[in-house]
Homo-oligomer: A and B are copies of this chain.
Amino acid sequence: MTKYKLSYFPVKALAEPIRFLFSYAEIDFIDDRFDRNDWPTIKPTTPFGQVPVLEVDGKKICQSNAICRYLAKKCGLAGKNDWEELEIDATVDTIHDLRAKIAAYHYENNGTAKAEKLEIAKELVPFYVERLDEQAKKNGGYLVGGRLTWADIVLVSLLDYLNYMATYDIIEKAENLKTIRDNVLAEPKIKMWIEKRPNTEL
């Protein structure tokens, strides 16, 4: 049987979409959460100096999104055809563009630049959220194709991290995205994961 080991900092953030998908797919994995003090030692052993890293039977691979797409194919959450896969991929990349706008502000160390990036985020975050909300409305309460796909999983599993960085609930006024959140968190296998996962702020 294939052995999976997922290595990341002891937080949800970019590893959580992968953990949600492993849980949904009912695939056992080693949830390796290393201490931040060990990062300088671990970093050079990763393919590109980044985590999360997934080890599949000893082969190391990085990139959260690429790993999510791989797992989605194993549990029926990928697209049904090339066009649906394109729609899911575009939606997931848009969610990560939204994340990048919030992160650009959150991780900026320079005071003046941080204030400038906050202004950009203040305009763009509600814009992205509103458009994604319209998309969810058109697709019957899911992001793509009127059924659960890994795009919904990525959105919901990233929300704690996005809200932590933004310091508010970014989907507060987005009724259709809130429905997606409720539905994903009510999925029995996701619910079980959330009950057993370590409790962390982000």
A97-122 CB contact bits vs B (8 Å, 1 = yes)?
A: 10010000000111011001000000
Copy number of this protein in the oligomer? Answer: 2
Complex CA–CA separation, A47 to B94 (angstroms): 10
Choose, from A17-25, A59-67, A187-195, the stretch at the interface.
A59-67
Q: A69-B86, A131-B48 are in contact. Are A63 and B113 (CB under 8 A)?
A: no
Q: A113-B110, A113-B112, A113-B113 are in contact. Are A48 and B86 (CB under 8 A)?
A: no
Determine the residue in chain B with the shortest Cβ distance to A127.
B49
A24-54 CB contact bits vs B (8 Å, 1 = yes)?
A: 0000000000000000000000011110000
- Name the one of B66, B69, B73, B86 contacting A67, with C-beta atoms under 8 angstroms: B86
Complex CA–CA separation, A83 to B70 (angstroms): 8
Determine the residue in chain B with the shortest Cβ distance to A88.
B66
Complex CA–CA separation, A66 to B131 (angstroms): 18
Query: In the complex the two chains form, is B47's CB within 8 Å of A131's CB?
Result: yes
Q: A85-B70, A97-B50 are in contact. Are A90 and B63 (CB under 8 A)?
A: yes
